[in-house]
Structure 1
């Protein structure tokens, strides 16, 4: 089996899902109290990140933490409705060049995997639209029929993505040398090094340096 692994934020979706979903929360007229409470909690670490005093990984973890906490106590129907509406606004922003890459991988017989630290309900809708075989993302913890947020919820990023993929396919015979991975960030280096055909998509400076040094394929421009 050959895998084609796609990152989401900055790769398939040329933006960050955190601000997008936060804006959706406001657009869909969800709780203002939760919105401003989450925003106030996130801003200090965001300002530290802008001042280059904390890493982007730590900032993103906090962002997803605050985003996931918005859904605490909501039932499954409310959650599904929110993400259905959010995806209606998101789908036209998916990079059409990357959609072509998805189709190319499908035509070449790859098993498609969408891997991201983004919340899994939004990833599920993307995966359904583009016929991915597997989705690995940050799960909303449920207790019965309601979201149950707790501070130790599991958020995957960086090396954790590569670990999650390997664990998911540990009982399959994977031809890693001929697998493919698409990502935009140096934080995804582990998953890029896992495969024989890494593709840097609008890479950040550190990943661009690695890609050029190792002569990886680079896709520069988004098309939406």
Structure 2
């Protein structure tokens, strides 16, 4: 089995999804939007003060956003992300989408592994014909999101582990497989394949890609 693994934020979608999703939240409820944004601004200040790492900040920011859906049922959550994806899809990176289409036609198993909300990534996967979607899932209790429920964040550091929980490593031809990502935090995914591709990479990833002679798509950030 040959796989092609794609990151979402910064790779298939050239931007961070959370700011866009927050704007969509504003159109649903201004009160919820401002409550979420107050927490996100505080997290940003903490990040700038270097009190905790950027990866932890990303996790807490996403959890803050996701918990704004408490009391929503699964259908309502899916409706929100379906509408959001329809607005986002025009901004997908056409070069990366083309790579996915080419690899799919060549018999590769297409996988999205992302820290983004799984309902959003599901709609991307359905639209582009991906075979497997891994993202940060809402935890539902009897079909309703509960604020106290735990959420497991798919961070860059645990993406490879999350993938290998679903696809047995002994069935994957890693040397011929591909991975596409923009962030140094995705190094575990990039280093596990024979064809890593840095897409519009962050500076640290770009430096590593040059050192290791990896393919680079687009311009470094």
TM-score bracket for the superposition, by shorter chain length:
over 0.9
1:133 equivalent in structure 2: 131
Partner of 2:148, secondary structure, is coil
Q: What's 2:8 paired with?
A: 8
Answer whether contact 2:26 2:32 (CA < 8 A) is retained.
no
Deviations 1:166-211 (A, max 9, x none): 1111276111111100000000001101111100000001100110
Q: 1:98 aligns with which of 78, 96, 116?
A: 96
Tell me how far 1:54 sits from its aligned partner.
3.3
User: What secondary structure is seen at the aligned counterpart in 1 of 2:12?
Assistant: coil
Contact kept in structure 2, 1:138 and 1:154, CA below 8 Å = yes
Does the CA contact (< 8 Å) of 1:68 and 1:149 recur in 2? no
Q: Deviation digits for residues 46-84 of structure 1, max 9, x if unmatched?
A: 123234443221121111111111111101222122112
TM-score normalized with structure 2 length = 0.94
Match of 1:34 among 29, 32, 35: 32
Assess if the C-alpha contact under 8 Å between 1:202 and 1:221 holds in 2. yes
Question: Could you say which residue in structure 1 is the equivalent of 2:209?
Answer: 211
* Partner deviation per Cα, 1:106-161 (whole Å, 9 max, x = no partner): 12211000010000000000000000000000001111121223363111102211
Task: Give the CA deviation at 1:41.
Answer: 1.6
Shift of 1:2: 0.6
TM (norm. structure 1) is 0.93
* 3-state secondary structure, aligned to 2:152: coil
For the residue of structure 2 that corresponds to 1:70, the secondary structure is helix
Preserved CA contact (<8 Å) 2:201 2:219: no
* Correspondence list, 1:162-181, <5 A: 162-170=160-168, 173-181=171-179
Distance 2:22 2:148 in 1: 19
**Residue in structure 2 matched with residue 64 of structure 1 by the alignment:** 62
Query: Structure 2: which 5+ runs fail to align?
Result: none
Gaps of 5+ in 1: none
Structure 1 CA distance, aligned partners of 2:49 and 2:218? 27
Structure number with the bigger relative contact order (C-alpha 8 A, sep ≥ 6) is: 1
RMSD of aligned alpha carbons: 1.6
Match of 1:124 in 2: 122
Aligned 8 A contact 1:45 1:54 in 2: no
2:53 to 45, 55, 61: 55
Contact 1:138 1:156 in 2 (8 A): yes
